[in-house]
Structures are given as structure tokens and as C-alpha cells.
Amino acid sequence: MKSKRTIRIGILGFGTVGQGVWKHLQADLSALEYRLGAKLELVSASARDITKQRDVQVGPGQLTDDNFSIVNDPQIDIVCELIGGTTLARELTLQAFKNGKTVVTANKALICEHGEELFNAARDCNTHYFFEASVAGGIPIIKTLREGLVANRFSLIYGILNGTTNYMLTRMEREGISYGDVLDQARALGYVEADESLDLDGYDAAHKAVILAYLAHGRWVKLEEMVVEGIRDITTGDIAYAKSLGYKIKLLAVIRRDFDKNAVSVRLHPALIAKNEIIAQVDEVFNGISLTGDVVGETILVGRGAGQDATASAVISDIADAVVALLGAPPPVISEEDEETYKALADEVQLAGPESVSSPYYIRLRVKDQPGVLANIAKVFADHSISVATMIQEEESDSASARLIFTTHSASESNIETALKVISELDISIDTPFRLRVFKPGK
């Protein structure tokens, strides 16, 4: 009988995800070996502090504080980069490719910022780069896009790609807890990234949206070219008003492709979404992604978008693909030749500017409560071709000011921005106007 090849694995970063990968691989190594037809060996892992007490134990000498000893170890075939960040992680990844290693990563920021360079480097070194865990944790969205739905062109991909903010919005909605209090609770549960802005200002989800847009449309979009807005200004009042109008508020990634105009727009912002949409019902720390393909129609995936076990599940699925590639089968991704065609097609795709994006809006104003105020505001809307759909006025306790909540019919983003600027400069305005888009999948 032919003896099985042994494939050796090293892990960069022995934090939550690194330990999860080690734990699950070790627990079920023989089942994976049987399915893949290879022997697998966990060789070593790196950590900044190797003396720290950890839940997952490794054998003597298997933990090192020298990341480069893993990428330069001639025994190791697959390197899992789970250290995060974009500087050292980039260096280590490039060095691993140079040494002919296959790299598996969960690092969305790295792919978003340096994906083009890293994919090219992997190709130049005749090796592979796998990144299933970089988007939506345990949901196999990368495989779904690249393999399961390969027959499709996607007019719309949208959904919830950040679990922390989804948890916060869910609790604000269900329990009426203020933004500040729910943030404190999310921090206490360890849900919020060390750099909180990644979650709260939408950058974590924006990184993931950039990766999905690249996979679906072949074009790398820079964060500076996108609308990226977080959840910091949303109040429990907004959520309650939205509810009374039949909506929930979710932090949505929206990737729309207009095939007639050959334009794509990639955006990340909170939006009102009709509460009967499946994505609106994805609550707590869960992620959900809807993909509309020209062949399959709408497909929706919902699952755990973060956490040790869910992310380890995605990393291990990439390790399995890496093993298959190392055993000689082509990896289940776009081949080098196809990549050229894909790139040529993508080069023609234009980025849709904000002026070409329209949607209904939710607008919250705080104004002086005096005659003529509503007429003034209505005139500004009319001057900017904004048609009001609903209006709620609430008197505030001092009766000198009022809160006005409008929803509009579809209006262009630039008209809304200009109109709100004009309103904010009127002497009747008390607070800066606040607006949210109303997301409609069909529009």
C-alpha cells in the first residue's frame, strides 16, 4: 500500500483563534486525515508570551516566540497566519510564500489592504493563499462565492458582516438599552475588538465587504473610495421609530453591480431594512449574507461570524483545501489563466459614485418649535427634489424644541447631503441633522 504523505502545519498567533484551530485539529486529526488521504502533523505555534497560562496545551518545545522560526522551518508545509495586523503579518506571509509554503489566514485587514500584492506573490512563488476565515467567521462565504455559485454573476450581495455591532443593535432594540450601556456590556463580554473603531465605525465589516466585492467582481475597492459609516450615532429612539414604521436598523454591507452601466458600488453603513427580510431577522452576534445571482436567484447564509470555534471551522476548511492542493490537485479557486481573464474583465468595471446612488431615507431633526419651521424644511426638501413619505413630530419637554422624523421616497445621496447641510445652517436647527438610508434589496 502506498504510504501517505505527511503534511506539517505551523500556526502564527496562539490567541483565541490559533488555540481553537489547534484544539479542533488535535481532537479530530484522524477523521481529517482519513478524508484527505494524508497524514497531518501540528508542528508548532508562535505567541508573544509563551509563559502565559492557556486553555489549550501544546507539547514541549512546540510553542515559540519567534514567528520567523515557523515561516522558515523547512519541515512546515502550511502556515496559518492568525496574528492579525497588517505589518508583521504581511512580512511573515511574504516570507512564507518565498519559502514555498501555503498560507491560510483569517486576516481581513491584511487582505483588504495588501490582497493584490499577496495574491500575486503567492502566484509568483507557485504556492497558494487561502482566506475563508477572513469574512463572516464560520460561514463558508468565500467557498460559496467561488465554488458553489461559480455559475452566477451577482447583481446584489448584502448583509451583516460584524457580530459585535449586530449584538449591540439587537439589545438596543429588544431591551431599549442605550448605546453607551450596551457598548459597556459588549466590552465586558470581550466582543469588542481591541481597536474599537474597527467594530463601531464599520471598518471590520468594510474590510470584509472589500474582499467579497473582489471575489464577486474582480475589483479591489479602497476604503477611501467607499461609504463607510458605523453605528455610534444611532439611538434607541431611532430604533423605536424604525420599528413603528416596519423596519429594523442593521449595519449593512451592500455590494451592487449594475451590469448595464458596468458599475459596482461597495458600501458599509447602517440602514433601515424591512423587518420581514431574512437579513433583518439575523440578530445577536450572528452574521447573514444574501447573494443574488443571475442563475440561482437569492441565496442566504446565516451563521456565527466570529468566535473561537466558528473561525477555527473556517481555518480548518482552508487547511483541508491546502492539503488537497499540496497533494497535487488544483486548488478549488480560480486558476492562474482564469485569473488573467477575470482581471481583464474587472478592469472595465467602474466604481459607482455617490451621485448615482439613491435610496429612501430616514431623517431625524431637532428644531425650534415655532411657526413656519415645517414649511422651511419642506421647502429645502422640495428644492432638492426630495419627496417626503412620512413625518412624525414629537414635542420635547421644554416645548421650545421638537423632534421631527421624516422618511422620504427614493432620493439621490448627493441631494440628501446638500439638503441636510442647508437645514443644519438654518437658525431653526438645534442639533446636526441625522440620517439613515432605507435599504431595499430590489432598488
Contact 274, 247 (CB under 8 A): yes
**Site string (338-377) toward ligand HSE, x via CB under 6 A:** ----------------------------------------
Check residue 199 for interaction with ligand HSE (CB under 6 A).
Answer: yes
Tell me, what DSSP letter sits at residue 429? B
Alpha carbons 370 and 372: distance in angstroms, whole number: 6
163 binds ligand HSE (CB under 6 A): yes
- The secondary structure element, H or E, covering residue 268 is strand 263-274
Count the Cβ atoms, other than its own, within 10 Å of residue 307.
17
Q: Contact region for ligand HSE (CB under 6 A) — 1-9, 23-31, 115-123, 161-169?
A: 161-169
Which of helix, strand or coil describes residue 400? coil
- Candidate residues 46, 127, 164, 308; the one interacting with ligand HSE per rule CB under 6 A: 164
CB of 164 to ligand HSE, least distance (A): 3
Nearest CB to ligand HSE, comparing residues 102 and 164: 164
Helical ranges in 192-286 per DSSP H: 196-200, 203-217, 236-244
What nine digits make up the cell of 375? 414649511
Measured from the CB atom, the residue of 301 and 374 that comes closer to ligand HSE is 301
Q: Looking at beta carbons only, is 144 or 164 nearer to ligand HSE? A: 164
CA contacts within 13 A on the Cβ side of 377: 27
Partners of residue 289 on adjacent β-strands: 159, 301
CB of 10 to ligand HSE, least distance (A): 23
| 195 lies in the site for ligand HSE, by CB under 6 A | no
Side chain identity, residue 276: N
Q: What is the DSSP letter of 389?
A: E
Q: Nearer Cβ to ligand HSE, position 1 or 194? A: 194
Interface with ligand HSE, residue 181, by CB under 6 A: no
Q: Which three cell numbers stand for residue 219?
A: 475589483
From candidates 305, 373, 419, 438, binder to ligand HSE by CB under 6 A: 305
Close Cβ partners of 373 (under 8 Å, ≥ 6 residues apart): 367, 402, 428
- Asked if 132 touches ligand HSE (CB under 6 A), the answer is no
204 binds ligand HSE (CB under 6 A): yes
Burial 8-40 (b: 16+ CB within 10 A, else e): bbbbbbbebbbbbbbbbbeeeeeebbeebebeb
Q: Does 201 bind ligand HSE (CB under 6 A)?
A: no
Candidate segments 158-166, 317-325, 404-412, 418-426, binder of ligand HSE by CB under 6 A: 158-166
Among 25, 36, 212, 306, binds ligand HSE (CB under 6 A): 306
Q: Among residues 140 and 163, whose Cβ is nearest to ligand HSE? A: 163
Name residues whose C-beta falls within 8 Å of residue 327's C-beta, 6 or more positions apart in sequence. Answer: 5, 7, 36, 37, 38
Query: How far is the C-alpha of 354 from the C-alpha of 340, rounded, in Å?
Result: 30
Q: Does 133 bind ligand HSE (CB under 6 A)?
A: no
CB atoms within 10 A of CB 98: 14
Among the candidate windows 159-167, 216-224, 348-356, 433-441, which touches ligand HSE by CB under 6 A? 159-167
Residue closer to ligand HSE (CB basis): 72 or 86: 86
- Annotated catalytic residue, options 101, 208, 248, 250: 208
Contact criterion met (CB below 8 Å) for 13 and 22: no
- Answer for which of 162, 317, 407, 429 binds ligand HSE (CB under 6 A) is 162
Nearer Cβ to ligand HSE (187/421): 187
> Is residue 208 annotated as part of the catalytic site, yes or no?
yes
Binding of ligand HSE by 423 (CB under 6 A): no
Within 10 A of 71 (CB to CB), how many other CB atoms are there? 24
Report in angstroms how near the CB of residue 136 gets to ligand HSE at its nearest. 8
Q: Is 18 a residue that touches ligand HSE (CB under 6 A)?
A: no
Q: Which stretch binds ligand HSE (CB under 6 A): 43-51, 157-165, 379-387, 398-406?
A: 157-165
- Measured between alpha carbons, how far is 267 from 372 in angstroms, rounded to an integer? 37
Give CA–CA dist 159/261, Å, rounded. Answer: 23
* Number of residues forming the site for ligand HSE (CB under 6 A): 8
Q: Are 377 and 419 in contact (CB under 8 A)?
A: no
Task: Assess 196 for contact with ligand HSE (CB under 6 A).
Answer: no
Give the whole-angstrom CA distance, residue 105 versus residue 131.
5
170 binds ligand HSE (CB under 6 A): no
Judged by beta carbon, residue 163 or residue 433, the one nearer ligand HSE is: 163
List interacting residues with ligand HSE (CB under 6 A).
162-164, 193, 199, 204, 305-306
Cite the active site residues. 208
